[in-house]
Chains A and B, each alone.
Chain A
């Protein structure tokens, strides 16, 4: 997961600060801004420049105009990679969001046993993606994996060899890894909902399901937007897990944009086209982040909470 790209300078957040203090506190943004420029903006400019060159990573960098862009944009691999990326984003969002909201709501309760479950449940979050991928690969091995070991025929499938199954496995593993993280966000969100709202609903005779749909869910609106932004932008640059689990295979069934970029740049030694894909990746990411911000309405930074 990476931090969603935020417009440099953080203008939007500054305007939210009441007028008089704006100037005095602007310097607080400086450290983050410097880091962002040094490790975000400058490399980005470099990549943009590289996309107009031909370079194999070894010899000299030669200017070649739009050659790389032409190569990338006419390659049928690009729409395919975009489609696969979109599928990963959409499916992993559709699986993770409902599961995370339900789990987050459940874990928000103050009972002791829920706290214990919460701790156990956050374990996947502590594991590195590469370790998770290698472990799943071993578990899914059709001859020596879980299915064969326990003698459960339904688990003996060509998990990573059938395009649809491989995509399913990727979504499952991604969800398994990140649902705990998003549950944590939702847990925090649910805990901030004032108790009084539920008490009022109880007096009015609302049941648990009704309370969930009429109080919890609407109150979580901005939490959902935050979590979705992280999810969408996170899946957009998802690389390590897919690289180790399927390496983009079978064929190119799970080759997302980030993987396509890596393969071109570091396996095929075509830094120009790889940089062009990187630029596309950044643009798509920025576009999606902006879109999600719009979806949240103009007051996205405001709280709905009482007294806030």
Chain B
């Protein structure tokens, strides 16, 4: 398996989600939908066809009442750092890993809609546009001009609000700075979270909040055994939640979807 081209860079963006703080309110999902110009169909009850870059799973510890415990696991794209599964499989190079930032993004106008990336991603973080995007009358005026809407027949995914990085860099350039300050570039979901469960930032900056949080004892990543090296970390003091992060042989009790 080939590694990504190593480039000397001071940036590698990642996310930490504190599951003990997450209330499952869904503000992150709504902020993401709004920020990234997602259309909403009249009936979104079929979740296997719903585009939700930031999906919130409700999980339980699998114990009967009164020992039942519930948690919420928000799941953006993991922006896998090692041999990114969706990047290597794309036949037309429509999925890009940026070695300068570590961000995995999609080139919508190049995607042929083969959905190989959808199949390769174990996190179900990739979505396909099954319908033409249609907004209610007048709503198109509220679209974010920095984010292109996607056409029917192409795959898409969370981009860590890549356009916000461009904006932050433009601002820094105007102010005569070459580097961004911690917190200057954050994703829409991190900004919207009312409990500040989501922390976003440059993992290579040792002074950043995220660089400290990922070293916390309760930090873990989803499906670490696969070796995808996600750049999204989770925090929890609950061992049953940490155990739900990966498959393990011989586990006696198995929690799951609520």
Query: Are A and B part of the same complex?
Result: no
